[in-house]
């Protein structure tokens, strides 16, 4: 039997994203901005797409030596988003990675959900992810360079959270997990790796808004996982770096739970 191949001595170099452009939706704030910061430190060029007219001041702090540009777009506008992603490819000379992180949620009892609440969640969290992945994948196929695509799902697609009332959001994240598995099968032939990440309860601006209004929920949120605390956004960056790197070259069609063990 032939000896199994081993990595060369410079194993950690495979984590480098130097010169590779990663598109991040929802990257103007929250988890998306944290991902942008983390991947920029690994050498990636970052193209952030967000609905806000101007980037946050924190975006300007990306000073790690790469190229970082901000683009305004609504991920639910199929044609508008497509034009922006085409422009990104032109501006950067191609696209290697895509992280579909733009998302919203409505926190209210199921019986109080309105058709508009459902539409908002499905439009941004499902259609927005679908559109983003499709546009980026088309660029990657045209380039014939392969690439890595990650959609941000949620632990809510595995377990109903005790501290939230997010039926429409949960439905949207189940949908993301479902169609990304199918997309992974179809795009693998182009050497485009597709995976999802399902975060647990994370300390985001949206969560803080809930806690400001309902401080009594803090023990419920913290108690959702074995570590008995709320996760920090940067604790997701290791998984995103792995999935964007060459070390994940045989990782396709998987959902990675990063939740402090709450399932």
The residues annotated with a catalytic role in the active site are 154, 169, 173
Tell how far CA 222 is from the center of its chain. 23
- What's 3-37 look like in SS3? CCCCCCCCHHHHHCCCCCEEEEECCCCHHHHHHHH
Which tokens hold the place of 174?
């189940």
Cα 181 to Cα 20: distance, rounded to the nearest angstrom: 25
Return the ∠ at Cα 211 (arms to 164 and 162), rounded to 5°.
25
Pairing, β 68-72 against β 255-258: unpaired
Q: Is 216 within 8 Å of 170 (Cβ atoms)?
A: no
Q: Using a CB cutoff of 8 Å and minimum separation of 24, what contacts does 234-237 make?
A: 234/34, 234/38, 235/202, 236/31, 236/34, 236/35, 236/197, 236/199, 236/202, 237/34, 237/35, 237/37, 237/38, 237/39
Q: Specify the DSSP class assigned to residue 202.
A: B
């Amino acid at each position: 039997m032939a000896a199994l191949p081993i990595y060369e001595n410079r194993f950690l170099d495979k984590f480098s994203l130097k010169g590779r452009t990663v598109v991040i939706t929802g990257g103007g704030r929250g988890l998306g901005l944290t991902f942008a910061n983390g991947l920029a430190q690994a050498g990636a060029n970052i193209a952030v797409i967000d609905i806000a007219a101007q980037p946050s001041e924190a975006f300007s702090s990306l000073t790690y030596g790469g190229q970082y540009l901000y683009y305004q777009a609504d991920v639910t506008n199929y044609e508008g988003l497509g034009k922006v992603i085409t422009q990104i490819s032109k501006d950067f000379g191609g696209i290697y990675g895509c992280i579909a992180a733009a998302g919203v949620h409505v926190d209210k009892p199921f019986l109080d959900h309105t058709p508009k609440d459902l539409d908002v969640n499905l439009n941004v969290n499902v259609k927005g992810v679908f559109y983003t992945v499709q546009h980026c994948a088309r660029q990657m196929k045209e380039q014939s360079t392969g690439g890595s695509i990650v959609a941000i799902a949620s632990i809510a697609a595995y377990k109903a959270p005790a501290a939230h009332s997010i039926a429409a959001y949960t439905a949207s994240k189940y949908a993301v997990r479902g169609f990304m598995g199918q997309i992974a099968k179809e795009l693998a032939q182009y050497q485009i790796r597709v995976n999802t990440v399902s975060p647990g309860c994370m300390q985001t601006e949206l969560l803080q808004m809930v806690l400001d209004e309902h401080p009594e929920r803090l023990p419920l949120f913290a108690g959702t996982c074995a570590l008995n605390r709320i996760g920090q956004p940067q604790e997701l960056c290791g998984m995103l770096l792995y999935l964007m790197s060459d070390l994940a070259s045989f990782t396709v069609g998987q959902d990675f739970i990063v939740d402090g063990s709450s399932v």
